[in-house]
Structure 1
Amino acid sequence: MPEDDSTADAQTRAANPPAPRGIFSVPAPIKRIFDKVPLITYPSNELPYRAANEVDGNRLFVFTDDEGARLGKPSFNPQCLRWQAYLKFVGIDFHTIPSNNHASPTGALPYLLPALPLNTLVPIPSNKLQKWAIEQVHCEEEQQISVRFEVYASLLDTRIRNAWLYALYLDKDNFDAVARKLYIDPSTSNSLVRSVLATQLQQAARDELLKTSDYIDVSDLEAEADNAFEALSTLLGDNRYFFDRRTPGLFDASVFAYTHLLLDKDMGWRHNRLSVLLRKYKNLVRHRDNLFEKFF
């Protein structure tokens, strides 16, 4: 629009919106407009001054708005919410800071600025967050506890993620009601730039889905997501948390990142077929409700 490196990379792809194409991939009439504007290459982004100097404690930079950050509400981005939830689950205190990929020194969200060492300006990217959390509170690394972790994580990486991409970016009504409101409108007031961003995001989602299929079949995407929900429901069973853990962990956070946003009425979905499919699995709904009530 974010263990070991291979797992982290897979999880990043699973939750983040696909990276948009460059500016010169847009239609020729729009390109000609930008050709008339001098382009300047700026150095890498520095950390936001306010975030680096005016907030004490650990700071997690995520997709959210000012009210959401102030109240500690769940991020509206699955990758950000995954790590926001995980840090809460393992008992690490932090403040959420509104941000976006362009403002991130790592080029993507989320990232964390730790409270210690004092005055550090070295961000921790999402693929290092679990390792950092383990060092802070000596929690478990789930990937080593259960050999099934990566097998079931692939359901999120592919089937649920693909259905999410279509629902958010390629369903026109959802795109206008949800994606524009959350990702495009806050980034700029320029209507032309908004149009370019919309084109980029939708084309990037389309390209991502066409990597594994010659055409996009909505019914097939929904059926695959339904199969994934069923498998996750079977895995959870009557347990409170996945893999029969006593406390929620990274996999619980990964599932919650999708189930919460699909069930959250505040997202403003116009068409939410995935929510209908998800609600068939009562234990997944309970899992989401319990985590939301306890941690948010």
Structure 2
Amino acid sequence: MSTPPAPTPSAPRTSTSTSSSSSPSLLPIPPVLRRLFDAFPLLTYPPAALPARSPDLTSSPLPRLYVFAAPDSEGRDAPSFNPSCLKWQAYLKFCGVEYTNVPSSNHASPSGQLPFLLPAASAGGSAGAVGKALPARQLLSWAGPQSGCDLQAPEVAAVMELVDSRVRDAWLYALHLSPLHFPLAQSLYCHTAVPLVNALLSRRMRSSAAAELARTRSGVLTADEVYADADAAWAALEEILGGDEWFFGAQAPGLVDAAVFAYTHLVLGVRWDGAEAGVVTRLRACKALVGHEKRVRAVCGW
């Protein structure tokens, strides 16, 4: 039997020593790690593609307004069920700004709150051409003033305070803290496929609403007190509007009209039960406010 040839010794590796001598400040790579890196070279993979349902922001011809809306209302021109979002939807329409609605949640917002607006990409847009997300507080300056009244005037500030405090308190209490309307609030804001998650989200919303009301009110919170304050606010707004078409006699609707409409439209549109029927009873008696809500709907095409 013939003896197999002896294996030929491999040529010595000189790269390590050469590298070490040429770069004395670098530690030499241990042979074990070098063999591992040779067997599994470092690769840089291309960026992963966005999901198929993600919008192509670089080619969007219109600004995108991220609002609370039904999941199936992507791109549809429909009013939001959230007053804060609805106010800015209406205001942008007053300014003649065309936009597309994007159903979203606070978790998707850079500021933690909706709405926010993503301006359209510039012509020939690249990814860098997409505008920076604008929170609600910047939408007034971005869209431009659209009102004949001075928003800094004391009487205007008083109206906005009525809406943002007394009217808003009643809306929060009726929708989120009245057990009769827990199912309604959950159906509007909780859209996951897991019932337990929806229940937890609903409980978190109730806690947030209670905490917000506690910050603006002292003592024990009662429905009678909240709704009585809202009744007084509706009556005051009715008197301020009077026989004018728009608030403060403006020639066109502005931010004040959008703020009032955001609540009148939603309060009139909800079928309230039990004691919460009082939320809408006083408003229905305010003929000027009811007419104002109809005019705003006509201007917005809703």
User: What TM bracket, shorter-length normalisation?
Assistant: 0.7 to 0.9
- Per the alignment, residue 41 of structure 2 pairs with none
Using the TM superposition, give the Cα deviation of residue 170 of structure 1 relative to its aligned residue in structure 2, in angstroms. 0.8
Q: What is the one-letter code of the residue matched to 1:156?
A: V
Kindly report structure 1 stretches of 4+ aligned residues shifted beyond 6 Å. none
| Whole-Å separation in 1 of the counterparts to 2:149 and 2:56 | 31
Equivalent-residue separation in structure 1 for 2:135 and 2:154 (angstroms)? 25
Paired with 1:197 and 1:180, the residues of 2 have a C-alpha distance of 8
Q: TM-score, normalised by structure 2?
A: 0.74
Q: 1:51 to 1:249 in 2, by over 3 A?
A: farther
Query: In the aligned structure 2, how far is the partner of 1:154 from the partner of 1:58?
Result: 29
Which of 154, 177, 187 aligns to 1:181? It is 187
Task: Give the residue type in structure 2 aligned to 1:128.
Answer: Q
**What count of residue pairs does the alignment treat as equivalent?**
242
Q: Residues 51 and 103 from structure 1, CA distance in 2 versus in 1: closer, same or farther, beyond 3 angstroms?
A: farther
Of 185, 207, 218 in structure 2, the residue corresponding to residue 203 of structure 1 is: 207
Q: 1:77 aligns with which of 71, 77, 82?
A: 82
2:136 is the alignment partner of 1:129 = no
Superposed, 1:230-269 pairs within 5 Å as 230-264=235-269, 267-269=270-272
How much has 1:71 moved relative to structure 2?
3.3
Contact 2:63 2:118 in 1 (8 A): yes
SS of alignment partner, residue 65 of structure 2: strand
Please state whether the residue corresponding to 1:156 is helix, strand or coil: helix
Name the one with the larger helix percent: 1
* Structure 1 Cα separation of the partners of residues 271 and 72 of structure 2: 17
Offset at residue 109 of structure 1 (A): 0.8
In structure 1, what is the Cα distance between the partners aligned to 2:72 and 2:196? 27
Question: 1:100-115 alignment to 2 at 5 Å?
Answer: 100-115=105-120
Deviation at 1:288, TM superposition (A): 0.3
Q: Deviations over 1:31-88 (max 9, x none)?
A: xxxxxxxxxxxxxxx9x94162463211111111255444311100000000000000
Determine helix, strand or coil for the equivalent of 1:60. Answer: strand
Q: In terms of Rg, which structure is larger? A: 2
RMSD: 2.2
Say whether the 8 Å CA contact 2:147–2:250 is kept in structure 1. Answer: no
- 1:290 is the counterpart of 2:300: no
Q: d(CA) in 1 for partners of 2:295 and 2:149?
A: 20
More contact order relative to length (CA 8 Å, sep ≥ 6): 1
Q: Say whether the 8 Å CA contact 1:256–1:288 is kept in structure 2.
A: yes
Aligned-residue sequence identity (percent) comes to: 37
